[in-house]
Amino acid sequence: MEKKDIDWGSLTFAYTKTDYSYACNYKDGAWGEDILTPDHSIVMSECAGIFHYCQEVFEGLKAYTTKDGRIVCFRPDMNAQRMYDSAQRICMPPFPVDRFINAVKMVVKANLAWVPPFGSGATLYIRPFMIATGDVIGVKPATEYQFRILVTPVGPYYKGGVQPVALKVSAYDRAAPHGTGNIKAGLNYAMSLYPSVEAHAEGYADNMFLDSQTRTYVEESGGANFLFVTADGGLVVPQSFTDSILPSITRRSLVQVAEDILGLKVEQRPVRFDEIDQFVECGMCGTAAVISPVGKVVDLEGNEHVFGAGMEHVGPVLAKLRATLTGIQAGEIEGPEGWVVEIA
């Protein structure tokens, strides 16, 4: 199969249309057949539920080429299950886990020419999402939906090496206690745009959100979970007592790598913001960057909280964790069974 004529190394995180998208419609109480379509537009009623009451959930994962030339993706069953849970929380019909995994394979196979080659650092980003397409005017769940997957080639997250970033503690809240912070839905992003634009304008890479009930505990950033490292080399992962942190697949995988492969001590517990000066490393984790090291956090009073090497280097524990997980993803390090799933 001939690859597209693309300068893979210069791709950024932007949308490029590929050959096919996947679609499946829900009508009369059932999901229909698998559709591969070259049409990248969705035409629907102005009264569709998505436009009025925001019934939308999504996922993000990537397909990439291993050293020995296989096209694989990482733990798609976890994305399938999380989207199932997200859909149920906002009264959408969940898309079956096995069909989700099969749809990911179908759409990647239909776009093999767009999967970046090994060594380019680029990947094929996979964005499954579901929207309410049926008409609703009174407030209630729609009766018709579309599950869809678009794929698009994207560049390496870090060009020219991993660099620590600066964060600010947000004066805004991301998620209500016992609200929807634990599901992956567009509605959680709409209200995070204002604080995100503000943080960027002030020179910060992202926000650190505290729990909205007490403003005492660390929750997460706009789109990544936090990891901390103690002075004696243990990993500490914030837990929410109001269930408002999104269950990152990267974070759950890193916890398992830390415990089972690297033999680190791992604590998953609520983390008070006033403890963070005791940590020597901090990072944000998610599919896009795996781990983004955090050099410093500036609090609401303007005080700087600097971790270990600050803005200069990535700390050794997070660097090791990142190298181990990316090694497993690339097929260079043996990981737990079923994590790397072959597509072609």
Ligand X SMILES: *Cc1c(COP(=O)(O)O)cnc(C)c1O
Residues of the shown chain interacting with ligand X in the complex, contacts defined by CB under 6 A: 60, 184, 220, 223-225, 246, 248-251, 286-287
Using CA atoms, how far residue 213 sits from 20, 152, 218, 242, 273, in Å, is 44, 38, 12, 8, 14
User: Annotated catalytic, 159?
Assistant: no
Task: Compute the least distance from the CB of residue 322 to ligand X, in Å.
Answer: 13
- Active-site pick, 184, 265, 296, 320: 184
- Map tokens 């057949």 to a residue: 33
Task: Compute the least distance from the CB of residue 9 to ligand X, in Å.
Answer: 23
Cα gap 235→177, rounded to integer Å: 25
- Map tokens 């300068």 to a residue: 7
Cα gap 92→72, rounded to integer Å: 29
Comparing CB distances to ligand X, the nearer of 153 and 223 is 223
Burial (CB count <10 Å: 0-12, 13-18, 19+), residue 76: buried
- Our CA angle for 293, 298, 302, nearest 5°, is 165
Task: Compute the least distance from the CB of residue 250 to ligand X, in Å.
Answer: 3
Comparing CB distances to ligand X, the nearer of 38 and 158 is 158
Task: Compute the least distance from the CB of residue 63 to ligand X, in Å.
Answer: 14
Instruction: Give 168-223 as a DSSP string.
Output: EE-SS-SS-TTSSTTS-BTHHHHTTHHHHHHHHHTT-SEEEPBPTTTS-BB-B-SS
Comparing CB distances to ligand X, the nearer of 20 and 217 is 217
Comparing CB distances to ligand X, the nearer of 15 and 27 is 15
- Which residues belong to the active site? 184
